[in-house]
């Protein structure tokens, strides 16, 4: 699938508005271009002594009509394009977010929140500037330019005089080709450094508590200063170039004025043109300076925006790593068993496999315990079951079908995954718990909270389930956060539930209570419990011991205790620890 970028589909939708705006600007330009012609005519008649008071009133009204006509028609044309710009921002941000949500875990782990924010804020705004204000100014200026040249010809100003006066303007084309690419390149650098700063800011704001506890504020301020300095350097380099470029355009306008004055003045003195023609010519050239300046600005803006557009186009062209097969079928985890065969998995950026030759059958309704040293591949196995990473073809089968042939939605909606650090949103506790099941009633939410042993904590808050979490609400403790996230998993009542170290921050007694309730509630459903404490797994139907990406031991608690190996060692250490603690 080839991406069409951001602008093509947008212009396909909005071209009618652009055409309407163009027409309105053209009419406004033509009206405004009559202004010097009227003044020129007035001057000639004044000089000839033909003017009556009635004529003066007539000319005044004519000028008023020109001003008002230009303002109303041009103003409406401007409104249309500004409206298109806001519309662009709206649909592009939605499009980016939808695209962003489609991408895979690998993309999120490589691109921080800050970087994403800079796409959504700076880049979208930059492009909008070009396609609304920039387009507007360019259109108004160009049309005024041509209207003025047309009106000069109609006014009877000799062609050679017009050509000589406007020829410095031709140089603009040369300037654009000369400076454009350099401005664009420097803008790209500015955007990249802004992205890097937002990324750093996001991380440092997030980690401010750690920074303070370690008293390393100075180091962090200095580190952040590097990003800010980089922006300043890049911005100054851009500003130097664009200011020079912008200054050149009015200079060319002044050259035009000078030629018009010298040549036009000479021709008026020798009687080749009338005084009215001379006045009109000077006014026309003066009238052209503003649009010219604006064209210079716009070209500058367009160069900056094209750097942002390139970034946005690159972003929408990123393809998700995990794509649903065209003929994908819904998963059935309720009855289907999960069969893993010869699964060896290597992360794309890694040189060492995270999982090696895993063979495993999980029958529906089983409780599987998983234990192993940190980094031994336990979470990786879960990521492959959820297909946030792609397992090699034929290695993971669900209900007889390769996991890669199943629809992503059906697979993920049938698995309730509760990670160790379940992210909670800045909304109410109720909404956080009912996150996977929006239609859940109060009773269901309370039941889930009770099963996760968080109910008693929630009802102690004045607003109970309506208590807001996050920035403008209460801050939960690590254990409370884990249990709220567990309640969110439980409410899903999915055929498969995976607890990935989900209750590690609660005390052993609460943990045992929670796991007992879960086992009772989930009779007949599959539950996979990854834990460090043997006590959390010992009732499992099958316990897997991971080491270095392999399953090195498997069986039930008693059986594993009887054989020498990591399981018995872990058990002995933990037993020793709890005896020691009890002894105190």
* Interacting residues toward ligand ATP by CB under 6 A: 109, 347, 349-350, 354, 372, 374-380
Q: Which is nearer to ligand ATP, 372 or 495 (CB)?
A: 372
Phi, psi of 461 (to 5 degrees): -75, 145
Task: Specify the residue, 43 or 504, whose C-beta has the smaller distance to ligand ATP.
Answer: 504
Asked if 312 and 92 touch (Cβ cutoff 8 Å), the reply is: yes
76, with CB counted inside 10 A (0-12, 13-18, 19+), is middle
Nearer to ligand ATP, 73 or 530 (CB): 530
**Helix, strand, coil shares of the chain as percentages rounded to 5?**
65, 10, 25
What is the closest distance, in whole angstroms, from the C-beta atom of residue 108 to ligand ATP in the complex?
Answer: 10
Q: Cα–Cα distance between 302 and 538 in angstroms, integer?
A: 65
> For residue 500, which of 398, 377, 342, 363 has the smallest C-alpha distance?
377
Of 273 and 358, the one with the shorter C-beta distance to ligand ATP is 358
The CB-of-296 to ligand ATP minimum distance in angstroms stands at: 48
**Least distance (Å) between residue 350 CB and ligand ATP:** 4
Tokens 């180091």 belong to residue: 219
Residue 271, Ramachandran bin (φ over 0: left; ψ between -120 and 50: alpha; else beta) = left
Residue number, 52 or 374, with CB nearest to ligand ATP: 374
Return the number of the residue (379 or 526) whose C-beta is nearest ligand ATP.
379
Looking at 402-546, list the stretches that DSSP marks H as alpha helix, in order from N- to C-terminal side.
Answer: 408-413, 429-433, 442-451, 455-458, 478-490, 508-521
> What's the closest the beta carbon of residue 351 comes to ligand ATP, in angstroms?
10
Tokens at 114, concatenated: 């800050």
Exposure on the CB side of residue 303, measured as CA atoms within 13 A: 27
Nearer of residues 469 and 531 to ligand ATP, judged by Cβ:
531
- Pairing label, strands 396-398, 401-402: antiparallel
In the complex with ligand ATP, the residue whose CB is nearer, 18 or 107, is 107
Cα–Cα distance list, 531 to 367, 378, 379, 404, 562 (Å): 13, 10, 11, 28, 20
Question: What is the smallest separation between the CB atom of 204 and ligand ATP, expressed in angstroms?
Answer: 23
* Cα atoms in the 13 Å half-sphere on the side-chain side of 530: 23
- End-to-end, the C-alpha distance of the chain in Å comes to 65
CB of 543 to ligand ATP, least distance (A): 15
Closer to ligand ATP at the Cβ: 283 or 498? Answer: 498
Structure tokens at 265: 């003045």
| Residue 406, CA distances (Å) to 79, 144, 273, 391, 474 in order | 49, 60, 83, 13, 40
**Residue 166 or 486: which CB sits closer to ligand ATP?**
486
Distance of closest approach, residue 349 Cβ to ligand ATP, in angstroms: 5
Q: How far is the CB of 375 from ligand ATP (least distance, A)?
A: 4
Task: Extract the tokens encoding 369.
Answer: 């315990």
Pairwise CA distance, residues 428 & 470, whole Å: 9
Contacts of 315 (CB under 8 A, 6+ apart): 96, 99, 119
Q: How far is the CB of 383 from ligand ATP (least distance, A)?
A: 7
CB of 385 to ligand ATP, least distance (A): 12
């Amino acid at each position: 699938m080839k991406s069409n970028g951001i602008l093509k589909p947008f212009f396909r939708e909005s071209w009618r508005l652009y055409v309407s705006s163009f027409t309105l600007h053209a009419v406004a330009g033509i009206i405004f271009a009559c202004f010097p012609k009227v003044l020129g005519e007035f001057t000639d008649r004044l000089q000839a002594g033909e003017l009556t008071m009635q004529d003066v009133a007539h000319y005044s009204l004519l000028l008023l009509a020109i001003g008002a006509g230009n303002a109303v028609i041009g103003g409406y044309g401007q409104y249309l394009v500004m409206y298109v710009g806001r519309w662009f921002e709206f649909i592009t941000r939605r499009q980016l977010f939808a695209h962003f949500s489609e991408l895979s875990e690998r993309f999120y782990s490589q691109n921080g929140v800050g970087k994403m924010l800079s796409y959504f804020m700076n880049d979208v705004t930059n492009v909008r500037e070009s396609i609304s204000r920039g387009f507007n100014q360019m259109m108004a200026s160009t049309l005024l330019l041509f209207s003025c040249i047309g009106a000069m010809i109609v006014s009877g100003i000799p062609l050679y005089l017009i050509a000589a006066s406007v020829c410095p303007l031709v140089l603009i084309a040369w300037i654009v080709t000369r400076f454009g690419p350099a401005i664009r390149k420097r803008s790209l650098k500015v955007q990249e450094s802004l992205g890097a700063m937002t990324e750093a800011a996001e991380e440092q704001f997030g980690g401010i508590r750690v920074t303070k506890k370690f008293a390393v504020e100075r180091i962090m301020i200095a580190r952040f200063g590097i990003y800010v300095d980089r922006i300043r350097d890049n911005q100054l380099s851009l500003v130097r170039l664009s200011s020079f470029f912008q200054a050149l355009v009015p200079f060319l306008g002044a050259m035009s004025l000078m030629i018009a004055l010298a040549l036009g003045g000479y021709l008026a003195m020798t009687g080749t043109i009338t005084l009215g023609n001379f006045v009109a010519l000077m006014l026309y050239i003066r009238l052209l300076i503003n649009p010219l300046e604006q064209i210079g600005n716009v070209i500058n803006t367009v160069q900056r925006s094209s750097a942002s557009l390139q970034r946005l186009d690159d972003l929408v062209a990123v393809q998700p790593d995990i794509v649903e097969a065209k003929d994908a079928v819904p998963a059935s985890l309720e009855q289907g068993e999960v069969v893993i065969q010869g699964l060896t998995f290597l992360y794309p950026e890694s040189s060492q496999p995270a999982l090696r030759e895993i063979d495993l059958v999980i029958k529906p309704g089983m409780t599987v315990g998983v234990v192993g040293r940190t980094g031994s591949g336990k979470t990786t196995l879960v990521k492959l079951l959820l297909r946030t990473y792609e397992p090699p073809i034929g290695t993971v089968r669900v209900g007889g079908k390769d996991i890669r042939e199943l629809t992503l939605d059906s697979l993920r909606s049938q698995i309730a995954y509760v990670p160790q650090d379940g992210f909670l949103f800045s909304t109410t506790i109720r909404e956080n718990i009912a996150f996977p099941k929006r239609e859940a009633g109060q009773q269901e939410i309370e039941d889930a909270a009770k099963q996760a042993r968080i109910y008693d904590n929630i009802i102690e808050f004045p607003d109970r389930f309506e208590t807001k979490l996050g920035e403008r609400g209460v801050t939960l403790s690590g254990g409370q956060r884990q249990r709220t996230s567990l309640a969110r998993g439980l409410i899903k009542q999915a055929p498969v539930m995976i607890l990935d170290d989900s209750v590690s921050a609660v005390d052993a007694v609460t943990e045992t209570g929670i796991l007992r309730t879960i086992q009772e509630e989930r009779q007949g459903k599959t539950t996979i419990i990854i834990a460090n404490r043997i006590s959390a797994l010992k009732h499992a139907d099958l316990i897997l011991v991971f080491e270095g990406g392999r399953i090195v031991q498997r069986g039930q608690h008693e059986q594993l205790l009887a054989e020498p190996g990591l399981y018995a060692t872990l058990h002995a250490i933990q037993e020793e620890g709890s005896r020691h603690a009890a002894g105190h």
